[in-house]
Homo-oligomer: A and B are copies of this chain.
Amino acid sequence: MKKFVLAMAVASVTTVSAFAALAEESNPAIVHRHGIYKIMAGHMTAMKSILFLGFEAPADLAFHAQGILDAFGHMGNSYPPGSDKGETKAKPEIWTQPDKLKQRATEAVDAAKALVAATAGTDKKATIAAFKGMGEKCKACHDDFRKE
């Protein structure tokens, strides 16, 4: 568990440094996808506080899981040609390995669906497992397609 929380922490810091450069970015696709990822990160952060730190809002877990899935549903055309130009950590592989990217995206969406399903019940262990599954799929895509 400690390792997992640490990994989440590292992921958060990495994400933050990516956003630090965002403020003056004007490439529409870059700004939009950062917004979408920020929504997802926010829901994950709120879930973390409920699942691991004892914030008293267990009924909100389903809301946050749905929020992540809904954000995936509003990604739009996030990596169009030209959206490698600007303050982005997107690796060139995003454009040269579209099949792999699509696979990672599908896995992440499936993980979000599993998280929604888990939060529909009251089994906290199942929700924690699904939450970890979601975090792993976030990380898998970052490992392959995001510069450190």
Contact = CB atoms under 8 A, between A and B. Distances in A.
Interface of A: 8-10, 12-13, 16-17, 19-20, 22-24, 26-29, 31-32, 34-50, 53-57, 60, 63-64, 67, 70-71, 74, 76-77
B45 A42 contact: no
B57 A45 contact: no
This chain's copy number in the assembly: 2
A64 B31 CA distance: 14
A128 to B, nearest CB: 15
A26 to B, nearest CB: 6
B57 A32 contact: yes
Contact of A55 (B24, B29, B67): B29
B55 A32 contact: yes
Chain A interface helix/strand/loop/mixed: helix
Given A13-B23, A57-B76, A34 B45 contact: yes
Nearest to A17: B20
A66 to B, nearest CB: 10
Contacts of A10: 23
B9 A13 contact: no
B44 A42 contact: no
Contact of A32 (B29, B38, B39, B46): B46
B20 A16 contact: yes
